[in-house]
Structure 1
């Protein structure tokens, strides 16, 4: 009986993960208004299974956003642990974050989403800390200019990974990584110019203050 219960729990966890993954992909491709039927189809489950795990669309968006932020934090931590050069770790993280299509979080965060929920704040803090660590390491190594912060980095990744209006996203990836590489070259020290304004934090980019994040 105990083995059966564990098997059922494992199945339920796999279904939940598949639904979150399918929803994230669907949101990237079609926006937050994609039908729950389509998400269920992509996940290979029935509608009843989707609603058994998520009470409504808002709940699903909440979980997709948490999952995306956690995954991006994982990428930062893994890159810093595995790369000998911290600036190489930063380069790797930026390209991986772009592959995560973090720009897809923008419409999710600007809709009916509780930005002050404890799990949202905790996940955002974890993401902020992971990115700060990788940037601090690159800065300490004398490779990263001193006048930028986490928010500056994430604005660039978000904007450079967002397709241009009217392009239909055709082959856009080849431009994303090319332009991200140009951006990263501009982050290295010595800085060639003085930046206007002040360095941006993730808190500065919170949806209630600024639309992009």
Structure 2
């Protein structure tokens, strides 16, 4: 193999790794920008925060709608991954629920969904990932109910709806992350089943 061929073969994995890092940086930056400024925020600002040029952004995402869809899918996929991991790793199902809700809050579930809601009606990838997340969350909740730790009257829609509202940024955004974490702990206390009287 010539030196040129060897250099080309070695460079290809590096290019792929760089492209993957750029993709992740753009998704993370876009989530933050859309939450702060709405879905119509300038894509120049997304590129600037991601530390890439506009050409790089458009190589990864065909247009604004594509970027919005992928941001939504990425956030839900993170929630699905964490829920499945918690389901497999946590012995206490209520602690698995706590872990999942904390993770979902940290990814800005409540802030992202108002931005993307209604912007795409049918996207097979998004809804497949959403089904994974819902299935894992519902199984965790089922186990937590059966263990006697979770209130019997609490549904997935209850938990997801409360989480979305508690993690939605306050006007101006000042201190919302800290307060959201505090509110989440109060929510978790409210989800616990009452201890039977002796």
Q: Does 1:146 align with 2:148?
A: no
Question: By how many angstroms is 1:52 displaced?
Answer: 1.0
Correspondence for 2:163 among 149, 157, 169: 157
Question: By how many angstroms is 1:46 displaced?
Answer: 0.5
Q: Does 1:19 align with 2:29?
A: no
Unaligned runs of 5+ in 1: 193-213
Please say which structure displays the higher CA radius of gyration. 2
Match of 1:94 in 2: 101
Secondary structure at the aligned position of 1:186 is classed as helix
Q: TM-score, normalised by structure 2?
A: 0.86
Within 5 A, what are the aligned runs for 1:45-64?
Answer: 45-64=52-71
Structure number with the higher helix fraction is 2
- Taking only aligned residues, the RMSD between alpha carbons, in angstroms, comes to 2.0
When structure 1 is superposed on structure 2, of 3-12 and 153-162 the one drifting more is 3-12
Q: TM-score, normalised by structure 1?
A: 0.81
Secondary structure at the aligned position of 2:149 is classed as coil
The runs of 4+ residues in structure 1 deviating greater than 6 Å are none
Unaligned runs of 5+ in 2: 1-7
